[in-house]
Structure 1
């Protein structure tokens, strides 16, 4: 899979700034990170950050686009061959693998979706639109049902691909509270969507 982030050796100052912002936003939350902190992390001046992104909202939009590109690249790394179930399973696995390899993306998504900041809803809207366009493509290619409602398919994909990611911290916390040191392995969340 092509890495949308590239490597620091190959990056323009604008890309380094965006990557530094994603790392800091993922770690601390956007509201706790200043443009000055992003500039310091990227090794550039505050003026250069403002030149490229104008405001923190502009920088957040660039980070949202980068994270969306991670999903796009993961999904499009899967050939559209096989049954609809095989294609869906392969796409889900490609997204899981991308998330395993990119902890900053995981943390950014958790914060963007779960923190009560109205500005963060833009990322969820972008993700929903990306999934909707993929569902439409698969329907037209005969790789997704056309009898199920499109909205149901969009929600199903998002729940399958993000449900475990978003609920894992809660499951870990609850397990620590209730585990009595027995031999029982920690439960793993799996999401099944009725067809």
Structure 2
């Protein structure tokens, strides 16, 4: 990810949780669709302020690593959560060296990964064989695109139909979940 994306989210971080309200029922639904086993090692990609953290802990995740390119988002996340099973790192996901995660979730962030081929390759590398990737939004692609339409193309791509986005993943993953609904967008599968 580029500096434009980092700068954008660094500026937004102090007010992010006030500006962006997340429907907890939709988050729970996404995480149920994610099939996260108790004790799982979960990588929260572009975790922002740690929106998923409480729900992941409630599901019994054994370890959560939240990474985000924005130092300021990570500062907010660290101020909100102090739990032995949770770590946050301010780093570009593409630079992460840890592997063998059971699940990698990209929640409300997929359009900000402009190089989809590199994203898919990195997700493949951080997951253990049979590990699950999840791309999810707690809203429709139309609403997501409406929120992003004024952003510079260096910050965000359009979110396309789930069937189209699935094409990026099919060589490396067995796709088993595709939802493109008025209130939810989920693409998920397991590493081959």
TM over 0.5: no
Task: Please identify which structure carries the higher strand content.
Answer: 2
Task: Please identify which structure carries the higher helix content.
Answer: 1
Smaller-chain TM-score range? under 0.3
The normalised TM-score by structure 1 is 0.27
The normalised TM-score by structure 2 is 0.27
- Structure with higher Rg: it is 1
